[in-house]
């Protein structure tokens, strides 16, 4: 069930699920707190409580709460105070990477560990050749029509819609990517993509900055897909070279949506090995 916190720095829509040590899960671009989190079931099975906010411009969190990554990182501290959480594991997915990095860097005492998944960690997102296209199709005036058209396309020709989306999410041939997916994964990927909305959030995302990641002190696991077509592998390497004691795992996932890959089992094993060693206080 969604909730809304009225905080000093603004309003934040969020969802809490599960019981146990707290994990703050920051979903990526075109998503909100209700969007299917790729590893939600895995984290719950590991015994964590997930706190999943809608980032500014997405869902019910207004842009005014934090148009920059550092502003929303500061607002999230207010959410942690509201929930009486002294410390959390932070998961930063895709375009939420800058917010996760700013939170860990600006408020190290609140972050016990940092887990990045195909996360943006530096300048150059999206790729220069794609930036203008992002402004055109994902701006708040037209994004609802962009996603409505995709949902209509997916209803009429689901296989073609999946191939089209994988064309922007993988560096491999889309047909090769889809061929590796089970029927269940294909349906789940389509369901995930069909819930997408950009709101005003994605235009905030492409302006976000990560700050000085060298100041991050929390244990950090960086997971990146070798064939990610949305966030270049250079982002993961940039963070791994600069965050002290960071561990980088490059997996052979065929696309940006690594949880819909046969290699996801190995990804979960890496996360399982990382998480139990994490000191947590609540």
Domains in the chain with CATH codes: 2-126+200-277 (3.40.50.1820)
Supply φ then ψ for residue 46, to 5 degrees.
-80, -5
- Which tokens sit at 215? 């100041």
Instruction: Tell me the β-bridge partners of 16.
Output: 51
Tell me the average pLDDT of the chain. Answer: 93
Cβ-based neighbour number of residue 135 at 10 Å? 12
| Closest-CA residue to 55 (of 112, 105, 113, 120) | 120
| Residues 106-111, mean pLDDT to the nearest whole number | 98
Residue 278 pLDDT level (bands cut at 50, 70, 90): low
Q: What is the pLDDT of residues 248-276, one digit of tens each?
A: 999 999 999 999 999 999 999 999 999 97
CB 258 within 8 A of CB 180: no
What b/e sequence results for 29-41 when a residue is b if at least 16 CB atoms lie within 10 Å of its CB, and e otherwise?
Answer: bbbbbbbebbbbe
Q: What is the pLDDT of residues 210-243, one digit of tens each?
A: 999 999 999 999 999 999 999 999 999 999 999 9
Cβ-based neighbour number of residue 151 at 10 Å? 16
**Residue-level pLDDT at 236:** 96
State if pTM tops 0.85.
yes
Secondary structure of residue 25 in the 3-state scheme: strand
Residue 113 pLDDT level (bands cut at 50, 70, 90): very high
**Residue-level pLDDT at 17:** 97
Cβ-based neighbour number of residue 125 at 10 Å? 25
**Residue-level pLDDT at 279:** 54
C-alpha–C-alpha distance, residues 226 and 224, integer Å: 6
Q: What is the pLDDT of residues 195-209, one digit of tens each?
A: 899 999 999 999 999
């Amino acid at each position: 069930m969604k909730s809304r916190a009225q905080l000093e720095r603004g309003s934040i829509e969020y969802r809490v699920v599960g019981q146990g040590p707290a994990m703050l899960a920051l979903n990526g671009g075109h998503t909100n707190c209700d969007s299917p989190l790729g590893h939600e079931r895995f984290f719950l099975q590991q015994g964590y409580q997930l706190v999943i906010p809608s980032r500014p411009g997405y869902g019910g969190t207004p842009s005014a709460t934090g148009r920059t990554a550092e502003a929303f990182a500061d607002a999230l501290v207010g959410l942690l105070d509201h929930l009486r959480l002294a410390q959390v594991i932070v998961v930063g997915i895709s375009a939420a990477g800058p917010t996760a990095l700013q939170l860990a860097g600006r408020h190290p005492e609140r972050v016990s560990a940092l887990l990045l998944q195909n996360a943006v960690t530096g300048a150059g997102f999206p790729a220069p050749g794609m930036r203008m296209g992002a402004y055109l199709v994902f701006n708040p005036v037209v994004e609802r029509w962009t996603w409505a058209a995709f949902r209509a396309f997916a209803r009429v020709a689901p296989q073609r819609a999946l191939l089209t989306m994988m064309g922007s999410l993988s560096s491999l041939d889309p047909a090769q990517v889809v061929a590796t997916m089970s029927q269940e994964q294909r349906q789940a990927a389509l369901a995930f993509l069909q819930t997408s909305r950009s709101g005003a959030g994605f235009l905030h995302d492409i302006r976000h900055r990560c700050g000085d990641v060298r100041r991050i002190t929390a244990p950090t696991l960086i997971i990146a897909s070798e064939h990610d077509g949305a966030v270049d592998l250079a982002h993961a390497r940039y963070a791994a070279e600069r965050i002290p004691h960071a561990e980088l795992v490059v997996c052979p996932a065929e696309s940006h949506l690594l949880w819909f890959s046969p290699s996801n089992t190995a990804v979960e094993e890496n996360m399982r090995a990382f998480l139990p060693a994490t000191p947590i206080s609540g």
